[in-house]
Amino acid sequence: MTTYGSFPGSRPRRLRTTPVMRRMVAETRLHPADFILPAFVREGVSEPVPIQAMPGVVQHTRDSLKKAALEAVEAGVSGIMLFGVPEESKKDALGTPGTDPDGILQVALRDVRAEVGDDLLVMSDLCLDETTDHGHCGVLDDQGRVDNDATLERYAEMAQVQADAGAHVVGPSGMMDGQIGVVRDALDQIGREDVAILAYTAKYSSAFYGPFREAVGSSLKGDRKTYQQDPANARESLRELALDLEEGADMVMVKPAGPYLDILARVADAVDVPVAAYQISGEYSMIEAAAEKGWLDRDRAIFETLTGIKRAGARNILTYWATEAALKLR
């Protein structure tokens, strides 16, 4: 008599026999609407500039950025997260281009919003690292340390100019204590209660940011270990999460994604707001480099990592493959 609770009666492989069977019983499904495209726009260039450390990714011109945004819309991508790269001569200790209405990020926000309207969520990185001559995410004190509270004043100004420029969503990414509450207050003060906040809730001090430094022309010397999270800590992320939600975050994010899937799962289990994860530059570049050498199947690796991130609990994924992956899914 066959025993159905164990082998040979129970055969899980029956549900793996054909592509259609595997598709039907899949527990996790990727969809183009899951994706947000991070994009860089550089001031003062007439052609897109390839990022050597991120094959296939460029620093856009204003025109090529608009084209990339339209391509994302056509692919069914949900959002585009913009990072501005000002001319080096315009950077200063306070990150002035970040609050200048004519700074490259604000100009790009207006460009993209005019191009896509509400067909794509136009999102803006809210941080000073791209615009400061020292490359840190905040204002420095007289001892060269990042001054948390002085930085919050700058973030409030940035939130307001980014909202005025057309951002649907702002993404405070500097990991300053109190940043979400300050940004929410600043937006509400100018009547922009409609602008959402995507909180970079658990942003770890990671080696995988390396290629991003080239992408934004970073001037950083030293590291960001005094404000980004220590990779050794997990419970700390839940403390950050509670604070961000209390201060008014509409969505929360874990960054990086791949090395922190355990954190992503814990955050997703703890909240009832949308959870995002950022598949960062180093994660992207490792796969592209290995694929270029023929060491792995590029497309399979891309979709395996994206599936793993979603399976861990991400509702949305920021990935440099957003448009490409969305088109292939469709």
Compute the distance between CA of residue 48 and CA of residue 161 in angstroms, rounded to an integer.
26
Q: Which of 213, 231, 204, 202 is nearest to 135 (CA)?
A: 213
Residue 178 corresponds to which tokens in the numbers above?
């109190």
Compute the distance between CA of residue 257 and CA of residue 204 in angstroms, rounded to an integer.
10
Compute the distance between CA of residue 48 and CA of residue 62 in angstroms, rounded to an integer.
9
How many CA atoms lie within 13 Å of 323's alpha carbon, on the beta-carbon side?
A: 16
Question: What is the distance, to the nearest Å, from the Cα of residue 147 to the centroid of all Cα atoms in its chain?
Answer: 24
Residue 254 corresponds to which tokens in the numbers above?
């874990």
Instruction: Mark the binding-site residues for Mg(2+), compressed into ranges.
Output: 240
CB atoms under 10 Å from CB of 140, counted, come to: 16
CB 82 within 8 A of CB 124: yes
Catalytic amino acids? 203, 255
Strand (E) or helix (H) holding 281: helix 281-292
Strand (E) or helix (H) holding 318: strand 316-318
